[in-house]
Amino acid sequence: MEEIQRSADGLVVQMRKKLSLRDLDRKVRLNAVFFADKLPHKPSICDTIKFVLSKFGNIGVTASNESDPNDRMFSITVDDEEAATDILEGSPWSIMRYSVHFQKWPETMALEELQCNQITFWVQVRGVPPYMFDVENVSEMIEKFGTFIKMDDPLESEEGTYSYLRVRVLLDARDPLPTGYQLPREDGSITWVSFSYEKLSDFCFVCGRLGHTDSPRRPCPIGPNPQNVDIEYGDWMRAKAPQKLNKNGLNQVPAVPPQTRRKFPGQLIVSLQSQTPGQFLQSQGASSSHTNEQHNNHLPHQVRTD
């Protein structure tokens, strides 16, 4: 009698597993990475993610390892590919004032094999002249600090011609957020190009990293870069997204595979610098009043965020 009962119990367990797998296969799996040095209560995070994403239908959320306080990954299930695409395109999400990156979870990969230190941003790049509004040039610029994904066509947007570049970039979240770089020009001059980030949640104004802030109660655990203690981070690095966005974004230009990129005369190579515009001006020695006036237009407090 006991053997029959054990056999029946085993059959029930197997049927439950099969039903669970079938239910999982009907849904789309995503992975969320929470960029916080110290995670809040994980069940609270799961409830908050469900609430934030509720407009996309039925959302399932589980912590990948609820007992490990250092594990920042969460498993997400959504009803269909359309909902998954909308969530991915909206990344990063700001949840509980932290940046949260969503990525696809392929069924051929274990959760532990997924990237847990990368995040995507729409970056507004200001200070690039229109003749360099070319996907080959822009992708080469971006590759100095991240991975170029795509860019909005600044000359054919719904708002008219952009005065800046809007680029989708994949960054390593363990590094400080880049503030800008020096751009060599064809006339031999060097100008400052600044970055500002759409949907940028709380980050540290001391070390420039996601995951924590600096306050008297909880000072930055990393501190400023000893090789560049004068670098400045602040609210000027936040940017507002263009208001007139259709469901699929603006007229977007995808990345060009390296093997198909064409080189052309006068193409410029940029060098990334972890400097503020003020530092850049000082390093240039303020050679002329024209140069000062040109660079001062790119100081952080003057960066437009609309």
159 and 291 inside one domain: yes
Mode of pairing for the β-strands spanning 73-78 and 238-239: unpaired
**Ranges in the chain, pLDDT < 50:** 11-13, 15-22, 24, 246-251, 256, 258-306
User: Are residues 100 and 128 located together in one domain of the fold?
Assistant: no
Q: Supply the DSSP symbol for 203.
A: B
Please check whether residues 182 and 108 belong to one and the same domain: no
Q: Looking at residue 111, what DSSP letter applies? A: G
Q: Which residues pair with 101 in a beta bridge?
A: 33
Count of structural domains within the chain: 2
The first and second tokens of residue 212, run together, are 């924590």
| Predicted pLDDT at 182 | 87
Of the three residues 74, 92, 116, the one that is the final residue of a domain is 116
* Residues 96 and 186 placed together within one structural domain of the fold: no
52 and 184 housed in the same domain: no
| Residue 24 sits in the same domain as residue 37 | yes
Sign of CA dihedral 197, 198, 201, 202: positive
Q: What is the pLDDT of residue 45?
A: 94
Domain that holds residue 23: 2-116
Structure tokens at 249: 């974004």
Q: Which of 116, 143, 168 is the last residue of a domain?
A: 116
Regarding whether 132 and 264 lie in a shared domain, the answer is yes
Residue type, position 94, single letter: S
CATH number, residue 16: 3.30.70.330
Are residues 101 and 123 located together in one domain of the fold? no
Query: What pLDDT is stored for residue 3 in this prediction?
Result: 57
Report pLDDT for 55. 94
Last residue of a domain, one of 49, 81, 116: 116
In this structure, are 16 and 61 located in the same domain? Answer: yes
- Measured CA to CA in angstroms, residue 169 lies from 56, 76, 142, 164 at distances of 24, 23, 7, 15
Tens-place pLDDT, residues 76-94: 999 999 999 999 999 999 9
Instruction: Note whether 112 and 124 are same-domain residues.
Output: no
Cα 213 → chain centroid: 18
Cα–Cα separations (whole angstroms), residue 199 to 233, 237, 281: 16, 10, 29
pTM of the model: 0.71
Q: Assess whether 93 and 206 both reside in one domain.
A: no
Residue with tokens 């990237």, as numbered in its chain: 115
Question: How much is the pLDDT for 12?
Answer: 45
Asked whether residue 172 falls in the same domain as residue 232, the answer is: yes
In the block, tokens 């847990």 appear at 116
Tokens coding 246: 């259709």
